[in-house]
Structure 1
Amino acid sequence: MPQQTRRGHTGRITATARLPRHAALAAGLTLLSLATACGGGGAEEVAANSDPAKISAAPAAGVVAPAKVEVIAGLTGCEADIRIEADELRQGACTTPDGGYLITTFPEEKLKETWLESASVYGGTYLVGTRWVVSAEPKTLKRFRGKLGGEITRLKGIGPEPGPSA
Structure 2
Amino acid sequence: MPRRGRNHRIAGVLLAALVGGLALVTACSGGESDTAKGARASKSSAAPAAGIVAPARIEVIAGLAGCEADIRIDADELREGLCHSEQADYRITTFPAEKFKEAWLDAASVYGGTYLVGPRWVVSAEAEHLDTARNKLGGTIRQLRGTS
Q: 1:105 aligns with which of 94, 106, 121?
A: 94
Provide the C-alpha distance between the structure 2 equivalents of 1:74 and 1:98, rounded to a whole number of angstroms. 13
Q: How many residues align?
A: 101
1:116 corresponds to 2:109: no
Superposition deviation, residue 60 in structure 1: 2.7
Percentage of identical aligned residues: 61
Task: Report the TM-score when normalising by structure 1.
Answer: 0.58
Moved over 2 A (4+): 96-99
Question: Which residue pairs with 1:150 in the alignment?
Answer: 139
Superposition deviation, residue 135 in structure 1: 0.6
Task: Report the TM-score when normalising by structure 2.
Answer: 0.65
Q: 1:88 aligns with which of 70, 77, 83?
A: 77
Which one has a larger percent helix, Structure 1 or Structure 2?
1
Larger Rg: 1
Q: 2:118 aligns with which of 129, 133, 140?
A: 129
Question: Which residue pairs with 1:52 in the alignment?
Answer: none
Root-mean-square deviation (CA, aligned residues, Å) is 1.4
Superposition deviation, residue 158 in structure 1: 1.6
Gaps of 5+ in 1: 1-54, 160-166
Provide the C-alpha distance between the structure 1 equivalents of 2:147 and 2:114, rounded to a whole number of angstroms. 14
Provide the C-alpha distance between the structure 1 equivalents of 2:89 and 2:49, rounded to a whole number of angstroms. 25
Q: One-letter code of the match for 1:60? A: I
Give the secondary-structure state (helix, strand or coil) at the position aligned to 2:110: coil
Gaps of 5+ in 2: 1-47
Greater relative CO (CA pairs within 8 A, separation 6+): 2
1:78 corresponds to 2:67: yes
